[in-house]
């Protein structure tokens, strides 16, 4: 379960980089663990670089909020905290 969650968060993180690159007009190449994009200037490169960490932070906060709202027995809260920790 940990491996699947880790791979999902890495994929979403890299996808955020790739979608931001497309939004600023750069055509990226998505590899298995990173996004490679041709140089586009300082502003687009900063936006592309920040997209992944900002998305991961938002994903972690959302997972922690969901875990806090769903206080119950069973693996639910622990799974939410795990997703939050993985994303942060």
pLDDT tens digits along 33-67: 666 767 778 888 899 889 999 999 998 888 777 77
Q: Which of 45, 54, 60 is nearest to 8 (CA)?
A: 60
> What is the rounded CA–CA span in Å between residue 61 and residue 54?
11
Q: What is the pLDDT of residue 10?
A: 87
Q: Which of 17-31, 45-59, 70-84 has the highest mean pLDDT?
A: 45-59
Tokens encoding 61: 């906060």
DSSP string, 12-64: HHHHHHHHHHHHTT---EE-SS-EE-----HHHHHHHHHHHHHHHHHHHHHHH
Q: Which residue has the higher pLDDT, 54 or 87?
A: 54
Q: Which residue has the higher pLDDT, 72 or 35?
A: 35
Indicate whether 85 pLDDT > 70: no
Please state the rounded mean pLDDT for residues 73-77: 57
Q: Is residue 9 a contact partner of residue 56, using CB atoms and an 8 Å limit?
A: yes
Q: What is the pLDDT of residue 79?
A: 65
């Amino acid at each position: 379960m940990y491996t699947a969650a880790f791979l999902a968060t890495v994929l979403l993180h890299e996808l955020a980089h790739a979608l931001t690159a497309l939004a600023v007009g750069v055509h990226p190449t998505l590899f298995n663990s990173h996004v490679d994009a041709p140089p586009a200037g300082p502003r687009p490169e900063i936006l592309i670089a920040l997209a992944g960490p900002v998305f991961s932070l938002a994903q972690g906060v959302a997972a922690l909020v969901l875990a806090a709202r769903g206080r119950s027995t069973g693996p639910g809260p622990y799974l939410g905290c795990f997703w939050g920790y993985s994303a942060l």
